[in-house]
Amino acid sequence: MDIKSKVIIIIITGASSDIGEAAALKLSMNGAKVVLSARRKDKLNELKKTIEKKGGEALVVIADVTKMVDMEKLVDKTLEEYGTVHAIINNAGLMPLSFVKNLKTDEWEKMVDVNIKGVLNGVAAVLPTLIKNKQGHIINISSVAAYRYFPGGAVYCATKAAVKMFSEGLRQELAPKYGICVTSIEPGAVATNLMDTITDEDILGKLSEMQKMTMLAPEDITEAIYYALTQPSRVNINDVYIMPTEQQ
Ligand code: NDP
């Protein structure tokens, strides 16, 4: 996509913090109009102000990715404001790690709802416009967890493997026929608030060990997103698998 010289409209879910926020800043500073979505209104409004102060343009739409009606509203508001949409970054996600034996089934359900169904809802909401336009880009934030298990990650890893495989299916169905590019981004450990939802004491005890290494910064993931988005239309970046140098 020619972000710098054309008007490009990009929806970002989970834009209220870390990777989503960094992506919104990078893309808007390079000329894209960004639609900032998440549940925390204050955070999104703050980010919109920051973007506007720096000369960019952003629209805030509060939406819960688990609710299809919210995702439809997100796209409707985008179309009302800008007339079209070119890309979506399905970034919203949760990682309440726990060992299966502890049966935190409510947390399993939340992960399935946000990490898998949230991505499906985002795609379903935006797809009619992308198909009509015969162009566009869907970026799904999967994880290194799609490839390998880590302690307490049985359900989380399964959700991210689902996102990666769904992305490949989407690409095969959409790219050749409609010119819609699909990319799965698979980061290793990034220094963010993602671990804040962990409640399993068995995992919490191990976290400080994990946090000793130098992790990726949200901006490192943003570079991968920008790279995937800005390729010429003949190029589809299928996967970007990106790890901290110090991660095993
Ligand atoms: P954060 O916890 O900072 O961001 C998560 C984002 O998801 C927040 O903006 C949050 O916004 C949003 N979110 C959560 N639930 C919902 C919901 N129901 N509806 C809408 N938005 C929701 O963590 P990261 O920036 O690290 O996470 C972003 C993505 O990156 C996730 O998909 C994560 O799995 C993935 N990832 C992260 C890695 C890491 O090491 N940090 C590694 C690999 C992948 P709000 O609460 O305002 O709704």
pLDDT, tens digit, 9 for 90 and up, residues 138-177: 999 999 999 999 999 999 999 999 999 999 999 999 999 9
Average model confidence (pLDDT) across the chain:
96
d(CA 115, CA 66): 9
CB 30 within 8 A of CB 55: no
In order, the DSSP letters of the chain are --TTTS--EEEEETTTSHHHHHHHHHHHHTT-EEEEEES-HHHHHHHHHHHHHTT-EEEEEE--TT-HHHHHHHHHHHHHHHS---EEEE---------GGG--HHHHHHHIIIIIIHHHHHHHHHHHHHHHHT-EEEEEE--GGGT---TT-HHHHHHHHHHHHHHHHHHHHHHHHH-EEEEEEEE--BSSSGGGG---HHHHHHHHHHTTS-PBPHHHHHHHHHHHHTS-TT----EEEE--TT--
What is the pLDDT, as a whole number, of residue 188?
A: 97
Atom 44, ligand 1: residue with shortest CA distance? 143
User: Does 12 have pLDDT greater than 90?
Assistant: yes
53-110 tens-digit pLDDT: 999 999 999 999 999 999 999 999 999 999 999 999 999 999 999 999 999 999 999 9
* Lowest-confidence region among 25-39, 197-211, 220-234: 197-211
Atom 21, ligand 1: residue with shortest CA distance? 38
Spatial CA neighbour of 114 closest among 88, 141, 139, 147: 141
Please name the residues in contact with 6: beta carbons below 8 A apart, sequence gap of 6 or more: none
Asked about 156 being catalytic, the answer comes back as: yes
Separation of 176 CA from ligand 1 center, angstroms? 30
110-to-114, 116, 207, 237 alpha-carbon distances in Å:
6, 10, 21, 29
Please name the residues in contact with 32: beta carbons below 8 A apart, sequence gap of 6 or more: 3, 8, 9, 10
* Domain definitions of the chain by residue range: 7-242
Residue 78: burial class (beta carbons within 10 Å; 0-12, 13-18, 19+): buried
- Tell me which CATH homologous superfamily contains domain 7-242: NAD(P)-binding Rossmann-like Domain (3.40.50.720)
Mean pLDDT of the region 225-244: 97
Confidence of residue 133 (pLDDT cuts 50, 70, 90): very high
181-218 tens-digit pLDDT: 999 999 999 999 999 999 999 898 887 777 789 999 99
Separation of 194 CA from ligand 1 center, angstroms? 6
What is the pLDDT, as a whole number, of residue 234?
A: 96
d(CA 155, CA 218): 23
Atom 31, ligand 1: residue with shortest CA distance? 93
User: Does 3 have pLDDT greater than 90?
Assistant: no
User: Does 28 have pLDDT greater than 90?
Assistant: yes
Confidence of residue 25 (pLDDT cuts 50, 70, 90): very high
**Which residue among 82, 147, 149, 156 is the active-site one?**
156
Spatial CA neighbour of 141 closest among 22, 240, 64, 63: 240
Separation of 22 CA from ligand 1 center, angstroms? 12
Distance between first and last Cα of the chain: 34
> Regarding predicted confidence, which is higher, 205 or 221?
221
Q: Assess whether the C-beta atom of 19 lies below 6 angstroms from ligand 1.
A: yes
What is the pLDDT, as a whole number, of residue 176?
A: 97
